[in-house]
Amino acid sequence: MHGGCMVGIAVVGAGAWGKNHIRVFSEIPEVYLKYICDKDSSKLSLLKKSYPHTTMIERIEPILNDPEIKGIVIASSAISHFPLAKEALSSGKDVLIEKPMALTLEEAKELVGLARQNGRILMVGHLLIYHPVINRLKELVDSGDLGKIFYIYTQRVNLGIIRQDENALWSFAPHDLSVILYLFEEKPITVSAHGESYLQKGIEDVVFLSLRFSDGKMANIHMSWLDPHKIRKITIVGSKKMVVFDDMETSEKLKIYDKGVKNISYETYGEYLSLRFGDITIPSIKMVEPLRVEAEHFIHCITSRSQPKTGPEEGLQIIRILIAAQESLKERGIPIPIAEFP
């Protein structure tokens, strides 16, 4: 039995991303990582060497019945997210679920309802919201420093890992959608998506997604696992300044460009808008691992019973957009109103 100040945690799913959760939670002083659960016993055998004091288990039932376990981290395959989260919430456990929280709107709504009904924390692993650079971007947008925001575009591309259980849209878009919703604090009205399946029939390797907002703002996302470059980039264009977050940069991750357009009226041919080319500012931002921040936030929510920054309602909104985007993909890119998926 561990001390009352320790929070008992179980991680379900010991794949590549699950291992990151295992590492991070094992490093938090107030966490007792009691279980690692995976159906693959060979993965568990390897992990036992690094985590000798953690119980390796192939079934989730003993975890659900253990009163010492306060929180369950679900980092298994996307298709298993809903059934595992449903069991965990029904057993009175708080849940941190990797994105996407579910694969259908009905499933996502059921999880939100279960969390509310049982008074449980349901936190979605939208990792970028815990990134120090994204928090600085949020400050820049909210302060009006960038002026009126015109549009944002993001690129999340690389060569591999090619998935068989989800397309590039479901694999990559939750990251950027969570950031766009966080920065804009408003819901898009329509989404359109174009994509193609080149490597596996029916599973899009490349997707271009476009969101439109009621005030004219636009957001575009390019995602692919079939690209020669590894790019993780977000560009925001405002009337006063423009900003680029390049997560592949080691030190200069954020650049603020003092460039803009003076909105002067011009009536006759030969008069032009006045463009401003100013300095580039590279702010100093203290880097901490976003996954560690996310994990500590989950523990804080468990102990304080406060709602997470990336809660179920935000997760639900992202599922709505993904489902509308999937519909648009099927219809060869026609804009789909998100209100069609209440």
Tokens of 20: 């990151």
Question: Are 140 and 264 in the same domain?
Answer: yes
Look at strands 206-212 and 218-224 and give their pairing.
Answer: antiparallel
| Tens-place pLDDT, residues 36-72 | 999 999 999 999 999 999 999 999 999 999 999 999 9
Nearby residues of 78 by Cβ (< 8 Å), 6 or more positions away: 98, 100, 103, 165, 166, 170
Work out the percent of the chain whose per-residue pLDDT is above 90: 89
Question: Are 105 and 27 in the same domain?
Answer: yes
| Domain contains 228 | yes
- Closest Cα to residue 251, out of 294, 292, 286? 286
Output DSSP code: residue 158.
E
Query: Is pLDDT above 50 for 282?
Result: yes
Q: What is the pLDDT of residue 158?
A: 97
Report the range of poorest mean pLDDT among 18-32, 169-183, 263-277: 263-277
Q: How far apart are CA 34 and CA 71, in angstroms?
A: 11
| Tens-place pLDDT, residues 127-174 | 999 999 999 999 999 999 999 999 999 999 999 888 888 999 999 999
Query: Is pLDDT above 60 for 267?
Result: no
Question: Are 168 and 241 in the same domain?
Answer: yes
Tokens of 69: 């376990």
Quick one: the chain helix, strand, coil %, rounded to 5? 35, 30, 35
Query: Is pLDDT above 90 for 85?
Result: yes
Nearby residues of 249 by Cβ (< 8 Å), 6 or more positions away: none
| Domain contains 316 | no
- Closest Cα to residue 138, out of 102, 178, 79? 178
Which domain CATH number covers 270? 3.30.360.10
| Domain contains 165 | yes
Query: Is pLDDT above 80 for 2?
Result: no
Please name the amino acid found at residue 224: S
- Evaluate whether 205 touches 196 at the Cβ level (below 8 Å): yes
Three-state secondary structure call for residue 30: coil
Q: How far apart are CA 205 and CA 134, in angstroms?
A: 26
Q: What is the pTM of this model?
A: 0.93
Give Rg (Cα) of the chain: 22
Count of beta carbons in the 10 Å neighbourhood of residue 309: 16
Question: Are 25 and 174 in the same domain?
Answer: no
Q: What is the pLDDT of residue 1?
A: 44
- Evaluate whether 279 touches 260 at the Cβ level (below 8 Å): no
Please name the amino acid found at residue 119: G
Question: Are 100 and 166 in the same domain?
Answer: no
- Evaluate whether 120 touches 95 at the Cβ level (below 8 Å): yes
Q: How far apart are the first and last CA of the chain?
A: 46
| Domain contains 176 | yes
Res. 271 pLDDT band, cuts 50 70 90: low
Res. 277 pLDDT band, cuts 50 70 90: confident
Query: Is pLDDT above 90 for 268?
Result: no
Q: Which residue has the tokens 């007792």?
A: 32
Q: What is the pLDDT of residue 163?
A: 87
Q: What is the mean pLDDT of residues 117-134?
A: 98
Q: What is the pLDDT of residue 12?
A: 99
Angle, CA of 310, 313 and 318, to the nearest 5°: 80
Q: Which residue has the tokens 């989950």?
A: 298
Question: Are 13 and 149 in the same domain?
Answer: no
Question: Are 280 and 134 in the same domain?
Answer: yes
Question: Are 29 and 117 in the same domain?
Answer: yes
Q: How far apart are CA 302 and CA 26, in angstroms?
A: 16
| Domain contains 315 | no
Res. 210 pLDDT band, cuts 50 70 90: very high
Instruction: Show the domain range for 137.
Output: 129-288+321-340
Question: Are 30 and 70 in the same domain?
Answer: yes
| Domain contains 1 | no
Q: What is the pLDDT of residue 220?
A: 99
Q: What is the pLDDT of residue 278?
A: 77
Q: What is the mean pLDDT of the chain?
A: 94
Question: Are 122 and 217 in the same domain?
Answer: no
Question: Are 218 and 73 in the same domain?
Answer: no
- Closest Cα to residue 77, out of 157, 156, 170? 170
Distances (CA, A) of 56 to 39, 97, 154: 10, 20, 39
- Closest Cα to residue 51, out of 9, 83, 112? 9
Question: Are 192 and 268 in the same domain?
Answer: yes
Domains: count for the chain: 2
| Domain contains 107 | yes
Q: What is the pLDDT of residue 189?
A: 98
Which domain CATH number covers 119? 3.40.50.720
**Residue 261, strand partner residues:** 275
Q: How far apart are CA 311 and CA 111, in angstroms?
A: 11
| Domain contains 144 | yes
